[in-house]
Structure 1
Amino acid sequence: MMKLIVQYFEWYLDKNDNLWKKVVEETPLLKRLGVTDVWLPPAYKGKKGSDDSGYGVYDLYDLGEFDQKGSIRTKYGTREEYLDAISSLQASGINVLADVVLNHKLGADYTEAVLADRYDEEERSQVLERVNIDAWTGFDFKKRNNKYSDFKWNKQHFTSVDYDQLNEQSGLYKFVDKEWSNNIDEELENYDYLMGADVDFNDDEVINEYLNWGKWYLEVAPVNGFRLDAIKHIDFDFFPLWLKALRQNKELFVVGEYWSSDVRALENYLMESEYTMQLFDVALHYNLYDASLLKADYDLRDIFKNTLVLNQPEYAVTFVDNHDTQTGQSLESMVLPWFREIANALILLRNGGIPCVFYLDLYDDNIQKLMELRSLKSKTVYDYFDDPECIGFSYNCNQGLTVLISNGEARFKKMFVGRHHAQKVFIDQLGNCDEEVIINEKGIGVFKVEAQSVSVYSLKGNEDD
């Protein structure tokens, strides 16, 4: 069965909606749409308690069980509700991907005195001053009282912070006795530091703790794989080690978030991490975003140019948007509404890569149709990338599947669908075009797409040979 991932959350979810319960309620829908994997948000307690998205990680062992940070539950529900959501999906044959955030920690319980160098945040080779600071690096999790783990985090386990409590000043402070990883993304000269208290992946205690936590997590929440957060900020040697240990007893599907529009950076990380995971095709996301901004000025023939799905499709997870690209978020680059149906057709109905549908698109009727039509694909595809404003592709398959896209005016295009469809009638399953298309004796039809739209044609009446 072809993989199809759904990211089942977005940034601005209301905590009162209780996502874990909604997952259980919506499992039948996800099954009907052909979803094979569901990516769930971070399930552990964050700095803001029940108001935290999970990316402001406080306690990795608190899945909504302990009264910490002002609540027992997380934004998405309680530990029991999380485990019920996993069980519901897996009982329907749907795999679960847990969101793993290991780069940083926030919401420390106490400060520690540290000698630090304050760096220029944009040019990280420049030290501005050396200063004594009080850093939020002490985590003792007293409310959990050593349940599941007695590991306590302190300044030994971090490299840097972004706030000095002593002088009440924000800045980038690297501890004098620590070094940032060299095996890291080179943006800003060294992009080890991202936020909060930056975890030191050169510390043996940290490595051992994360290995122990990973094994514990799989025992408690038997997920089928992971989405790995912010991997460009984590020493490139870490995840091959971590995943090798966790895969000794279980097969795991893993996709990493390496946020770069440069496909060369993505391919370099695949090599550096020994091809231990897939990567989100961020380069394709930005092509889709640019296409939505430029409309007819974007050459659709280049939509897959310089992307991971073109260069290494077996390692690409394609997506239109995610929680970070939403309006108001750190990587804001939301594909414009008029292009969203087109963009989803491009990731769902192509053979390359594994598509990941975003929560905000999941409940759109036509995008649900695209998800269902995905099952009609075959290996044999004919591309018609011959016009800067109108591209198409068709499959030689039993029920037929022909996709036509325009970012300009309405267009017609002749496309081959197979001689076995001669004299049969194709219709636009999305309802964007009303015209019926009769296939000629050579297996060719003349298909229409409306202005700035997408049409997906297959046999009228769902015929099958």
Structure 2
Amino acid sequence: MYTRSFPFGGSRMPRLFLLFSLSLCFAFWSCSSLTEEITDLREGDERVQHEIQVTQTPNTPDAAARAGQLGGPVMMQAFYWDVPAGGTWWEHVESKVSAWSAAGITSIWLPPVNKTMNGPFSMGYDPFDFYDFGEFDQQGSVETRFGSRQELESLIGSAHQEGLEVIADIVLNHNSGGNAEFNPFTGTETFTSYVPASGKFFRSYLDFHPNDMRHADEGVFGGFPDLSHVKPYVQDWLWKRPDAVAKYYKEVMGFDGWRFDYVKGFGAWVVRDWVNEVGGFSVGELWDGNAQSLEDWVNATSQTSSAFDFACYYLMEQAFDQNNLNALSGDMLWKRNPMKAVTFVANHDTDEIWRKNLAYAYILTHEGYPCIFYSDYEEWLDKERLDNLLWIRGHLAFGNTSILYVDQDEYIARRNGGPGMLVYINNADFWQERWVRTNWANTEIKDYTGHSSWQPFTQGDQWVKIQVPPRSYSIWAPVGF
């Protein structure tokens, strides 16, 4: 499951190991079902009324407060797998934060920042010293792959000046790089002796599974020593004591939130207790395409954490690459709990969706907290098109969501806040047109993507005909925004 995929074809190589405060301005919505009238274009441009069951997330009192603000937050995953080694990445990302902020990005997610077993070569998912940010000569280098502590602190400071939150990638399931020691619980030698140069969080076989308190927890990754979170000593160093990892990262280094790696490997209570101790936005990597499983995990954290919406991810792959937009009617975390869903099109571990223009049009116009992948934005896709979607999200994407129409090739949804908008996605090889009901009567509307030159007026009963180009999307709202 943990693979790295190449965007333009080629082989997918398995990973060797999991080499992986502004408050959110979301309204809180829960999913419900209602009947929405739609119309279908028939011969002679005749409108014939139908009824279908569609999904809508109802308004709450918080929605009014949100209506006067820009659209919800957008995260940039500010790295990809095997970014250039040599200690230059923090400086590179710092050079981007001003432009990202201006485009509508509100937070950046950094790779793990601490020294690892593989020192200057590691992507950070094999943690050794949680307090070495590129300042101690150990594990083959002083700097990490990404740079020095000073460069990291400069990046965080610049991001904050641009109004960006900075999300730390936290690897708590396993450690790597310890020395061998005799382990009485296994009767063998294990690599569980950790003597970090920072002088903080020394570990031994007592701090891993099996130990005197517990034989195992929810999961082991790659055969690495499995950290035991039930041990009071481990809890103290991770989040409880004044210089615990969580508090040091937040209060000293300046991180605003957390991305928790491989949360299948330990109890959701760990994330809950961490966030309850130090606060900040949190999202867990629960690699599971079942929306119920994702919601269950969020609930198990006592709603302290969001989760990446893998259910949405896999359904988008079916919709856009397997030519079946009906998949977008499926169950997703954002439909169940949009305030706790982080939607995405690709990341450093998985890159399966090929028609990304449609996928980004989907997540950037719908509820949830969308995450843009660095390589998509900076290298592979049309940045101007993505910036246009970011503008649309920031100025038009408000309120709850109604799915107005969906079939194999067409998908139309409406955001119901002010000003609101219509998003029309077309997976066919030809232009499409359809009558839909809007929230606007006798109002001139236009396509804010520029894909269509139409500027129709809605009728007194709020109906209007809109169009969309082949293999593309259009996004409609009243003229003047």
Question: Which category describes the TM-score, using the shorter chain as reference length?
Answer: 0.7 to 0.9
Q: Does structure 2 conserve the Cα–Cα contact (< 8 Å) formed by 1:228 and 1:257?
A: yes
Provide structure 2 residue ranges, at least 5 long, that are not aligned to the other structure: 1-69
1:17-32 map, 5 Å? 18-32=88-102
- Aligned partner of 2:370 among 339, 350, 355: 355
Name the residue aligned to 1:166. Answer: none
Name the residue aligned to 2:263. Answer: 231
1:22-421 map, 5 Å? 22-108=92-178, 110-114=179-183, 132-141=187-196, 143-144=197-198, 146=199, 149=200, 151-159=201-209, 178-181=214-217, 184=218, 191-211=219-239, 212-247=244-279, 252-295=280-323, 298=324, 300-326=325-351, 334-336=352-354, 339-350=355-366, 352-363=367-378, 364-365=382-383, 366-375=385-394, 376-379=396-399, 382-395=402-415, 401-410=421-430, 411-419=432-440
TM (norm. structure 2) is 0.77
The C-alpha deviation readout for 1:76-123, integer Å capped at 9, x for no partner, is: 111011111111111121111111111111112x21123666xxxxxx
Tell me the SS of whatever aligns to 2:226.
strand
Hey, what's the Cα distance between the residues in 2 that align with 1:399 and 1:84?
A: 39
Identify which of structures 1 and 2 has the higher relative contact order when contacts are C-alpha pairs closer than 8 Å and 6+ apart: 2
- The worse-fitting range, judged by mean Cα deviation, of 14-23 and 310-319 is 14-23
Q: Does structure 1 conserve the Cα–Cα contact (< 8 Å) formed by 2:107 and 2:167?
A: yes
Hey, what's the Cα distance between the residues in 1 that align with 2:415 and 2:226?
A: 49
CA-atom RMSD in angstroms? 2.5
Per the alignment, do residues 256 and 397 of structure 1 end up closer, same or farther by CA in structure 2, a change over 3 Å counting?
Answer: closer
Q: Does structure 1 conserve the Cα–Cα contact (< 8 Å) formed by 2:169 and 2:261?
A: yes
Hey, what's the Cα distance between the residues in 1 that align with 2:92 and 2:223?
A: 31
Tell me the SS of whatever aligns to 1:30.
helix
- Number of residues of Structure 1 aligned to a counterpart in Structure 2: 400
Q: Residue type matched to 2:412 in 1?
A: G
Hey, what's the Cα distance between the residues in 2 that align with 1:380 and 1:57?
A: 41
The C-alpha deviation readout for 1:141-190, integer Å capped at 9, x for no partner, is: 2x44x2xx2x321111111xxxxxxxxxxxxxx67985112xx3xxxxxx
TM (norm. structure 1) is 0.79
The C-alpha deviation readout for 1:29-63, integer Å capped at 9, x for no partner, is: 11112112111111111121121111111111100
Hey, what's the Cα distance between the residues in 2 that align with 1:318 and 1:53?
A: 23
Tell me the SS of whatever aligns to 2:357.
helix
The alpha-carbon deviation at position 377 of structure 1 amounts to: 2.1
The alpha-carbon deviation at position 289 of structure 1 amounts to: 2.1
Q: Does structure 2 conserve the Cα–Cα contact (< 8 Å) formed by 1:278 and 1:315?
A: yes
Per the alignment, do residues 262 and 116 of structure 1 end up closer, same or farther by CA in structure 2, a change over 3 Å counting?
Answer: farther
The alpha-carbon deviation at position 401 of structure 1 amounts to: 3.4
Hey, what's the Cα distance between the residues in 2 that align with 1:386 and 1:103?
A: 41
Q: Does structure 1 conserve the Cα–Cα contact (< 8 Å) formed by 2:174 and 2:220?
A: no
The alpha-carbon deviation at position 447 of structure 1 amounts to: 2.3
The alpha-carbon deviation at position 304 of structure 1 amounts to: 4.7
Name the residue aligned to 1:449. Answer: 468
Q: Residue type matched to 1:113 in 2?
A: F
Question: Identity over the aligned pairs, expressed in percent?
Answer: 26
Q: Does structure 1 conserve the Cα–Cα contact (< 8 Å) formed by 2:452 and 2:469?
A: no
Tell me the SS of whatever aligns to 1:202.
coil
Hey, what's the Cα distance between the residues in 1 that align with 2:133 and 2:126?
A: 14
Hey, what's the Cα distance between the residues in 2 that align with 1:62 and 1:397?
A: 46
The C-alpha deviation readout for 1:317-370, integer Å capped at 9, x for no partner, is: 1111211114xxxxxxx211xx211111111101x2111111122233212211
Q: Residue type matched to 1:242 in 2?
A: W
Hey, what's the Cα distance between the residues in 1 that align with 2:319 and 2:275?
A: 36
